[in-house]
Structure 1
Amino acid sequence: VPKKVIHQFTEQLHEGELIHVEKFNVSTNNATYHPVAEGELKIYFSIDTVVKKLENQDVSIPMHKFSFVDFSDIPTRCHKQKYLTDVIGKLNAITEIKRIKKRNGEISPKRDIIIEDTSGSTIKIIVWDVMLDQISFNVDGLPSSPAIMIVTFTIVDMFQVLANPQRNPESTTDMMFENRKELIEIFTIMTENSSKGLKYTCKATITKVFSDYGWYYLSCQFCRKMVESLDSKYMCNSCNSTTTNPTPRLQLQVDDLTGTTTLTTFERETQILLPHSVQELINIELKENGPHLIEQILQKIIGSTYVFQFQITDYNITGAKRSFIISKLWLVDGLLEANDLKRKNVIKDLNGSGSSNENGDNDAHKKICKRINITNSKEIF
C-alpha cells in the first residue's frame, strides 16, 4: 500500500481478517527481502482499489505460513538476501542480553540463542534490538520441558575463518589422507618438541568405550567452560548463559595393529558415532532401565573402523601422554583407501627407479595417473 493512499485503507485492513480486494495493480517484486519464497509478484493498491471484509470468516486459510529450511541447507542461504529464512528447532541455550558495538558504530542490545533440530545439529541465532521483546523468558526462566522455537525472516551470515592464502581449500578426501600415519609413527613423532600443533590422521578400530565416564560433558555451548546443574538446566557462571542439554562426549580406545591410544570425541563427532540425538539419549537415560540401554548403545560402536584426525599438544609432548582429542572423523571409504594405497605403491616404484620423489614432478604425476587409470587426479592427491 503506497504511502499516499495508506490513510484510505487504515480502517479496512486488520491482521487475521479475510477480505475481498479488487481494482489493484500487479507488479514484479524487486524488493531486497522476500518474506515469502513464492513472492515473485506483489499487489499494488491504488486510489481506486476496493477492499471489502468477507461476511464468512470461517474459510480455512492459515494465519501463518512458513518456509522452513533444513539446518544442513542453511549455508546455501549465506549472503543471499532475496529470500528471508525460516527455521524451527528445540531451544537449547540462551545468553543474557549484552550491549554490543555494531559494524556501523552503534551500540545495541543483543542475545544469542541456540536451537537444535531432530538430527542433533545446532545453529546460533542472534537477536537484536526491539526483537528481544518477543522472547518472553530469561536465562533463569527457561521452560523445564522442551520448548520449540520458530524464528522467521532471518538473514544468514557466517563468521569468516582466516586461512593460509597460499593454500587451496582442501576437500574432505584430501583431509582424510593428509599426514596419514600409523599410531606407532605418531608416538615416535610426538616425542619431539617441534611436533606441537601438527595434525595427523590414522585409520583405527574402536576396541573399547569407557562408559564409566558417561556419554556427555557438562560444558557451556558458548565458552566451553564447566557448567553447574540447576534444576533441569545447566548454568555457566563464566558467561551467564544457560543450556538445557549437556555436551556429547565419548572416550574411546582405538587400535590400528601398530599401537593403541585413547581418543576423546565431542559434539559433532560424537553425533557421527551414535545414531541418536542428545535429546533422544537423555530420554533413554531417564527410563527405568536407562543406564543399561545407554550402555548397549555405546557398546554397538565397538569394532567399527574410522579415520580419525587429531592434533599433538603440549600434553602429549611434556607428559608423553598417548591420548588425543578428535578434531574430525570419517567413515572408512574402501574405494578411496584402495586408490590411496595404489598411489603410495606407484610413488614407491618411481622412487625405487630414481624417477621421482614422494612429492613428484609433472612427469611423475602423469605416470601415476596413467598407471592407476583415473582421469581426475584430485580424487587421490
Structure 2
Amino acid sequence: MSAIDVIGTKVGEVNNNGVHTFLNKLSNAAPDTKIKVRVARMWDTLNITKKKEIISTDMVLIDEKVFINEIANCIHATIPRRFSPSLKKVLQEGKIYVISHFEVSKNKEKYAVVENNPSMLSFYGDAIVTEEGSDDNTIPRYIFEFVNFNDLIKRCGKEVLADVIGFIIDVDPIEEKTTVNGKVDMLSLHLGDGSGNVLKVTLWDDYAPMFNQKLIDQMHATPKPNVAIFTSTLVKQYQGNCELYVSSSRSTTIYINIDTPEVADLILSSKGKNSVLKTTETLSLTNVDVKTISELLSMAVSGVYQGDVVYNCVATVDDILLKNGLYYVSCPHCRKTVSSTETDFNCEHCTKKVDYPKIRYRLELQVNDSTESTIFVLFAEVAEQLAQLKLDDLTPDLENQTGRDSDLPKQLQHIIGSKHIFQVKLSSYFERRGVQSFTAHKILKPVVKIEKEDNIATACSSSSGSLTIEIPDLPKKRRKLILHSNKSGDKDQNEDVEDLED
C-alpha cells in the first residue's frame, strides 16, 4: 500500500489502522473507505415550485490536503430528503468528522457545486459518522473556488456556478418582484474587487432578508470595510445590455466579514494604487440627518433652519434635464460663472478678466423618493463622480447639443434610474418661476441602506445607538464588467455655489 506524506501526516488508502482517503482519491474507493473531513458549509436545497419542500441537505467537505496544484481539495456531498433529519442531528457546519459507508458517484455535469473534483458523495441511513474530539486546525474552516471578476465573462449563460468575493459598495432596499413562481423578494448590491471592477449581485427570495440580517449582525462596529462572499452564483447578462451580474442559486451561501486568507488578501490589496478602496469615508446616518424630499422642501420654503445645515437625502434619478445644458463656463479661480462679451470673459466675483475660463459639469437631475420630487443640481467633481466620466471625454458629444431638443449622451444614460444619497444644504434652495431645486454638494456613495417600516434607516443604525462604519469610496470612474459583442445656464444659481469638496 502506498502512502503520501502531507504536513507530517501519513494518508493513504484505507486499511485496518484507520488511515483515511483523500477526497481526490475517491473515484475507485473501496466500500469501507473512511474520510476525515470538515463540513465547510451546509445548506438545504429547496424545491421552490412545491412550497419550498426540502429536496436534499447538501455540504461542501474539505480535508487536510487543502490544495492540489492550486486546486481546492473539496467535494460536494448530499443527503436525500428521507435521511436528512437523522443525519443533520449528528452533522454540524464547521466541525470535523470521520465518515464511512457512503456512496461515491460522478459529479454533476451541470451546476456543479464543486468544480475541481470528478466525484461527489451521497450519505444514506447506513452512513457512519464519528465526530473528532479535537481540532488541530490542520483542516481549514472554509474553502471556496473564487472566480475573478474579469473571468466571469467566460461563464455567462453557461450551466456553471461561481464563488465571488468583494467589498460591499452599496445595497438597495428589498423589492417585491413577480416571477413565474409568484411574488418573491429581490435585493441588489454591488461588490468591488479592489482593482476598479464592480460587480452587481442579485439575491432572490429568502436570500434577500437573509443578507440584510447577516449584514446587520456581522457588520464591523468600528470603521472598517465590509467584505462579502457569495458561493454558487449564476453568471448572467441583462437583456439588451452588456453588463454582467451574478444571481443567487439554490446552493448559494452568504458570508460577511469572515476570517479567511482570501478576505485578508483582499483588504491588503486595496492599499495599492488604483484600488477601489484607495480612500475610505466614514458614514453615519441617523434619523436626524436623513430627510425626505418633502421634508427638505417644507423646511426650505418655511425657512425653518439656521445656517448651512446639511441633510442627507436618498433619491432616485428620474431624468437629466437638458434645457440649460450639461456644463457651464467658469472662472478657474473661484469656480463662479463667467460672463462673456464678443472678445472677453469676465468674472464678476473676482472682478477681473479671465483669459482661460474652465468648462465644468453642471447636471440638473430630476429626482424623487416616495414623498415628493425636485431638482438636484450637481457641479464639477460631484457631477463627475456621478457620471463616472470626465467632461473632456464627453466634449465631442456636447458639441452636438443644441439645448431643449437635444438627446442625452449615451455615456450619461446609466445615471437614469440610479439611486444615491445626496448631501444637500438647505441654504442652497433655489426657486424660480415655480421650479424648486437644491444644490447637492456631495454624493455619499457607496452606502449601505435598508428600508424598514416605511422609514429610511441604514445598517449603521441599531437600537443601542448609531454605529459608524467605514465604507469604500468609489473612484470617479469605474469599470463595468461587460460582454463584448460583434454586433444657456441659470446664472443666479451658479453664482451661489461655494467651493466644492474634492
Same fold (TM over 0.5): no
- What TM-score does the superposition give when structure 2 sets the normalisation length? 0.34
Greater strand share, structure number? 2
Greater fraction of residues in helix? 1
